[in-house]
Structure 1
Amino acid sequence: MSTLVTRVAKTLRSYLFLTGGLTLGALGWAGFIIPAGIIGGGATGIATVIHFLTGLDIGAAALAINLFLIALSMRIIGASFGIKTIYAITVFSLLLSLVSRQVTGPILAEPMMAMVTGSILAGVGSGIVFLNGGSTGGSDIIAMVINKYRNISLGRLLLCIDTLIISSSFFLFRSLETMIYGFVCMAILTYTVDLIINGTNETVQFFIFSRRHRELQHHIIHVARRGLTILPGVGGYSGQEVKVLMVIARKSESQVVLRLIKEIDPEAFITMGTVSGVYGQGFDTIKA
């Protein structure tokens, strides 16, 4: 019984944060970016173009686009979309409509300030949505469909699609400045999403080559409180067998590990690199 209560509480908490993220995202788009006449990327960007061309409600346009893309994706590549994604798409569209009806003019008169503020709000909102297993659909669905027939990376496809959407603002407004605002908007939004998702959980990976590997092993486990893996290795030039310590740590803990290595074996050979994601015991859980 207690397990069921815990699962229900965890699910409710996830949907609460999901709704909060969607609210921030809708406020950023419909409260700042769109009233400033700026077109971003994704399905919201396409909906913005349709809104400016026809006057159609921005939320209705975004919902119609996402539903069409989901139906197309399911027919062509058989993609399955979770309940959270359907929930996020629906609620986000409703919130876009609600906010756009309440905000009849730009909250901030200065386009640059409106763009920066809206991009940060939308980025924070999207980051929270992604962290809680949701997605607002959009151009990533188009990219998956094209990727089935053309051997092009999803990242490149997304970049090309968003570039086309934002570039369309030049033909709509005949303003190079507005188009540039759109590209800056997406850069800030993307950076903010990455910061929310990876900023506090950025991890580093050490490969440590040392003759005093046993002593280092003891101190890293018992002093730095980090796990490690011992890998067998052979020197390419010397042919001698060596032990390599692989350590995964939070970026904030990296100085502790480096300090221990310096104290125990200043001549140790070390490589240190940033890891985009670490999942498992002691780190993050997979959210997909």
Structure 2
Amino acid sequence: MTFKDIRKEIQSYVFLTIGLAIGTIGWAGFIIPSEIIGGGVTGIATVFHFATGMDVGLLAFVMNVALILISMKVIGAKFGVKTIYCIALFSIFLSIISIYVKEPLVSEKFMATVTGSILAGAGSGIVFLNGGSTGGSDIIALMINKYRNISLGRLLLYIDSVIISSSFFLFQSIETMIYGFVSMAILAYTVDMVISGNKQTVQFFIFSKKHEELRHHIIHVAKRGLTVLPGVGGYSGEEVKVLMVIARKSDSQVIFRLIKQIDPNAFITMGSVMGVYGQGFDTIKGR
């Protein structure tokens, strides 16, 4: 393993820890003290926490370990070091914060639901982006999926719905149950935004008389590849060169800055791209 690989691995564990800390604050600082039951194993642990008074972090850890052991027997799943690290650290953080935070960090229940769910979703998104997982209901879904032809997404929805619905029997409150479903929706949306926002891709078409200079700077300064397309002006009939650039959205400001410096009169179109597969982007996965 090279020094670069080691540095990258250390960096991923740093981000995993940050993501777990953010997610735990969302759960233990807002959602759980507000008596809101969310989805996943954390939701099940919260139910048992309020029913028995046991430590929620310990409950989450025991349930995740039990699920991993059962799944290894049922589906032979292999869990990496990062998953074990995330499950252990998430449970520790959950226990520590729960000791010191007995009341939600904001008094209004709706604000606690929204704030906690956004933090929990953002934390989960950071964890997923860095190759980690906190276990949870996806393990249950994988085991059921082995014997029943139901999509994983639908199974996760069913499992989380059952967990959240159980809060009605615990608190005898439809309002609390609805808060749980709101929390699940916000959390899932935030996870998607964190993951897709990191991978969001844009496509530029650049029409410029200084196309050669732009080509050089986009490749060597912005460090992005491009394709030079031949074109003909519909009105003028003149031959033109069009630069097509595919880049991460985070790189778009650098490209705009270069175009402004070299040819402020360039004609540019920019659009979002649903998916880009190949060198430097995503890999094609089997469906």
Q: TM-score, normalization: structure 1?
A: 0.76
Structure 1 residue 227: deviation in Å? 5.5
Structure 1 residue 249: deviation in Å? 4.8
Q: How far apart in 1 are the matches of 2:99 and 2:216? A: 59
Among 4, 7, 27, the residue aligned to 2:5: 7
8 Å CA contact 1:37, 1:178 repeated in 2: yes
Among 157, 171, 186, the residue aligned to 2:155: 157
| Identity over aligned pairs, percent | 63
Q: How far apart in 1 are the matches of 2:225 and 2:132? A: 31
Q: Deviations over 1:29-64 (max 9, x none)?
A: 011100000000001001001101111100010001
Among 50, 53, 64, the residue aligned to 1:66: 64
Q: Which moved more, 1:36-45 or 1:102-111?
A: 102-111
Which amino acid letter does the alignment assign opposite residue 180 of structure 2? G
1:75 aligns with 2:82: no
Q: How far apart in 1 are the matches of 2:177 and 2:24? A: 21
8 Å CA contact 2:87, 2:135 repeated in 1: yes
How do 1:108-257 and structure 2 match up within 5 A?
A: 108-203=106-201, 249-250=247-248
Calculate the aligned-residue CA RMSD, in Å: 3.6
Among 29, 45, 48, the residue aligned to 1:47: 45
Q: How far apart in 1 are the matches of 2:282 and 2:119? A: 24
Q: Which secondary structure state, in structure 1, belongs to the residue aligned with residue 104 of structure 2?
A: coil
Q: Which secondary structure state, in structure 2, belongs to the residue aligned with residue 152 of structure 1?
A: coil
8 Å CA contact 2:200, 2:272 repeated in 1: no
What is aligned with 2:279? 280
Q: How far apart in 1 are the matches of 2:216 and 2:155? A: 47
Q: How far apart in 2 are the matches of 1:10 and 1:227? A: 24
Structure 1 residue 101: deviation in Å? 0.3
Which amino acid letter does the alignment assign opposite residue 275 of structure 1? M
Q: Which moved more, 1:197-206 or 1:140-149?
A: 197-206
What is aligned with 1:107? 105
Q: Could you list the runs of 5+ residues in structure 1 that have no partner in the other structure?
A: 209-217, 230-245, 257-262, 265-271
Q: Could you list the runs of 5+ residues in structure 2 that have no partner in the other structure?
A: 206-211, 228-243, 257-265
What is aligned with 1:240? none
Aligned residues: 260
Which amino acid letter does the alignment assign opposite residue 167 of structure 1? S
Change (3 A) 1:9 1:191: same
8 Å CA contact 1:203, 1:278 repeated in 2: no
What is aligned with 2:235? none
Q: How far apart in 1 are the matches of 2:51 and 2:215? A: 62
Change (3 A) 1:227 1:112: same
Q: Deviations over 1:239-287 (max 9, x none)?
A: xxxxxxx98554686xx9xxxxxx99xxxxxxx8842564632x3589x
Q: Deviations over 1:1-32 (max 9, x none)?
A: xx632222221111111111101111110111
Among 24, 27, 32, the residue aligned to 1:26: 24
Q: Deviations over 1:184-206 (max 9, x none)?
A: 11111111111111114213689
Which amino acid letter does the alignment assign opposite residue 183 of structure 1? F
8 Å CA contact 1:202, 1:277 repeated in 2: no
Q: How far apart in 1 are the matches of 2:128 and 2:66? A: 22
How do 1:89-108 and structure 2 match up within 5 A?
A: 89-108=87-106
Change (3 A) 1:154 1:279: farther
Q: How far apart in 2 are the matches of 1:111 and 1:277? A: 41
Which amino acid letter does the alignment assign opposite residue 163 of structure 1? S
